[in-house]
């Protein structure tokens, strides 16, 4: 038996098998469109944090992982703070996201390179099918807190995103979050 709790208001996890990680601006080189702007900002700024409960080994088939991602409010130039984004290494693996607190967007890209977004608000539920890359962006001025549940053998493929990037980026265009075609890599 394992014992853990999830704070229903914030998604904060505590207890057995919980791992914490955070991503600073210094760890996100070339993730945002305006790399010069990112490099000029305070490198110790936290862009997002992830907590997850992993009770089986990563890669083991049949299990599930449960997590909470907190994306901070902020922008690099006009681009909202966001996660790196990934495909699952085991491409067919799907995932659920749900928004707990804050305002943002789930950015999705299929393997043909079509990028779309789904608005996120407390209570919004998002099914991410297999073969679809996903990333979170915070478009509000408070922390965006998002729950997630995914298969323990899904894995993460960040490399394909580094190579080709998402085909569109979520930018603040006159105060409106707008998907803008990305410059080709
Ligand atoms: C797991 C998942 C989330 C993300 C988290 C951080 O499959 O989608 O838990 O891992 O939101 O984003 P990345 O992994 O893109 O840095
Ligand atoms: Zn995922």
Give the pLDDT of residue 183.
Answer: 86
Buried b (16+ CB within 10 A) or exposed e, 47-58: bbbbbbbbeeee
Give the pLDDT of residue 134.
Answer: 98
Give the pLDDT of residue 47.
Answer: 99
Give the pLDDT of residue 184.
Answer: 75
Q: What is the pTM of this model?
A: 0.97
Residue with CA closest to ligand 1 atom 1: 150
Task: State the distance from the centre of ligand 1 to the C-alpha of 89, rounded, in angstroms.
Answer: 12
| Cβ 153 under 6 angstroms from ligand 1 | no
Atom in ligand 1 nearest the alpha carbon of residue 156:
7
Q: E-assigned strands of the chain?
A: 4-6, 13-15, 18-24, 46-53, 64-71, 75-76, 79-80, 95-101, 104-110, 115-120, 125-128, 132-138, 144-151, 168-173, 176-181
Contact 96, 106 (CB under 8 A): no
Give the pLDDT of residue 185.
Answer: 65
Grouping H, G, I as helix, E, B as strand and the rest as coil, residue 131 is coil
Give the pLDDT of residue 157.
Answer: 98
Residues of the chain short of pLDDT 50, as ranges, are none
Task: State the distance from the centre of ligand 1 to the C-alpha of 98, rounded, in angstroms.
Answer: 13
Contact 77, 37 (CB under 8 A): yes
């Amino acid at each position: 038996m394992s014992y853990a709790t999830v704070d229903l208001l914030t998604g904060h996890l505590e207890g057995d098998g919980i791992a914490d990680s955070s991503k600073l601006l210094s760890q996100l080189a070339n993730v945002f469109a305006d790399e010069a702007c990112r490099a000029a900002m305070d490198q110790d700024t936290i862009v997002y944090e992830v907590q997850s409960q992993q009770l089986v080994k990563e890669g083991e088939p049949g299990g599930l992982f449960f997590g909470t991602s907190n994306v901070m409010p902020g922008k690099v130039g006009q681009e909202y703070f966001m996660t790196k984004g990934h495909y699952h290494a085991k491409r067919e693996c799907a995932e659920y996201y749900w928004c707990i607190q804050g305002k943002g967007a789930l950015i999705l890209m299929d393997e043909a390179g079509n990028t779309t977004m789904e608005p996120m608000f407390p209570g919004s539920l998002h099914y991410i099918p297999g073969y679809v890359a996903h990333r979170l962006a915070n478009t509000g001025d408070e922390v965006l807190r998002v729950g997630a549940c995914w298969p323990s053998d899904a894995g993460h493929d960040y490399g394909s995103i580094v190579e080709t990037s998402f085909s569109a980026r979520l930018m603040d265009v006159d105060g409106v979050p707008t998907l803008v075609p990305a410059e080709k890599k």
